Amino acid sequence: MIKEKLQEIRATLPSQVRLIAVSKTKPVEMLQEAYDAGQRLFGENYATELRDKHAVLPDDIEWHFIGHLQPKQLKYYIPFVKMIHGVDSVEHLEAVEHAAAKVDRRVDVLLQFHIAQEETKFGFALGEVAQLSAMPPMEHVRVCGVMGMATQTDDQHQVREEFRHLKQIFDQLKATTFAGHPEFCEISMGMSGDYPIAIEEGATLIRLGSSIFGARYYQH
């Protein structure tokens, strides 16, 4: 079933869009099934769950941490994680730099922006990014783009406008703060309920869970 769902989704994706299978709370057996179907990018929300799954699953999986970043938990996944999606403050950026330096790695991150109307979402305000220019060079962090989550609503026009706003933020940063940085090229937006709109508005990474694995298991 997972294999068939992945095939159906992949058939709709443009070549520039990569699929992250959001596997939080899912048993290892389901991740292995997705892996056997060719999936290599997996996203986890919980630090210790990510650590434990990494320990038993194939080494060539590209792990993405997509949950809210908590600096004290970086130690669980910083030795192997490919990308951290939810860097939502200068302080968190500095925390990732410090943790990655301890294990002598360079970790890719995305800057999370608050584009939704819901107050529960985290993220930079665009004006705060100016602080990045005043920071000393980071040797262990590579800022590769932006990430955002749209409001949970049935209003597709609103969702589209929020994704469009994130693309505008990306374009502005690409032309200013990150001009001359070819690695700044990713826009992570779109989940199971809204990813077709996200793709139309410029997403390069989409994060799909329930449309691959079925309903969530709430065990945390």
Copy the structure tokens of residue 1. 């079933």
- With respect to residue 219, please indicate whether it lies within any of the assigned structural domains: no
216 pLDDT band (50/70/90 cuts)? low
CB 209 within 8 A of CB 185: no
- In this structure, is residue 106 part of a structural domain? yes
Q: What is the pLDDT of residues 96-118, one digit of tens each?
A: 999 999 999 999 999 999 888 86
Residue 219 has pLDDT above 60, yes or no: no
Is residue 220 in a domain?
no
Write the burial class of residue 158 (CB in 10 Å: 0-12 exposed, 13-18 middle, 19+ buried).
Answer: middle
Count of other CB atoms within 10 angstroms of residue 26: 24
Give the global pTM. Answer: 0.93
User: Residue 131 pLDDT > 80, yes or no?
Assistant: no
Question: At CB < 8 A and 24+ separation, what contacts does 58-64 make?
Answer: 61/35, 64/20, 64/207
Give the per-residue pLDDT at 96: 97
User: From the centroid of its chain, how far is CA 190?
Assistant: 10
Give pLDDT tens digits for 33-81.
999 999 999 999 999 999 999 999 999 999 999 999 999 999 999 999 9
Q: Show the tokens assigned to 207.
A: 């994060």
**Residue 155 to residues 72, 152, 197: CA-CA distances in angstroms?**
37, 9, 12
Q: What is the pLDDT of residue 86?
A: 85
Locus of tokens 């630090």: 47
Query: Is 218 part of any domain?
Result: no
Q: How far apart are CA 49 and CA 76, in angstroms?
A: 9
**Residue 172 pLDDT level (bands cut at 50, 70, 90):** very high
Cα-flanking dihedrals φ and ψ of residue 160, to 5°? -60, -45
Look at residue 67 and tell me if it is in a domain.
yes
pLDDT above 70 (res 201): yes
Quote the number of domains for the chain: 1
pLDDT of residue 69: 93
Is 90 among the domain residues? yes
Confidence of residue 12 (pLDDT cuts 50, 70, 90): very high
Give a yes or no: residue 61 inside a domain. yes
Instruction: For residue 130, tell me if it sits in a domain.
Output: yes
C-alpha distance across the termini of the chain, in Å? 25
pLDDT tier for residue 130 given thresholds of 50, 70 and 90: confident
Structure tokens at 80: 């192997």
The reported pLDDT for the residue numbered 101 is 97
Lowest mean pLDDT among 90-94, 130-134, 174-178: 130-134
Residue 152 has pLDDT above 70, yes or no: yes
Tally the residues of the chain: 220
Structural domain containing residue 62: 2-213
Residue 219 is given by DSSP the state -
Give the tokens for residue 131.
């602080």
CATH of the domain at 111: 3.20.20.10
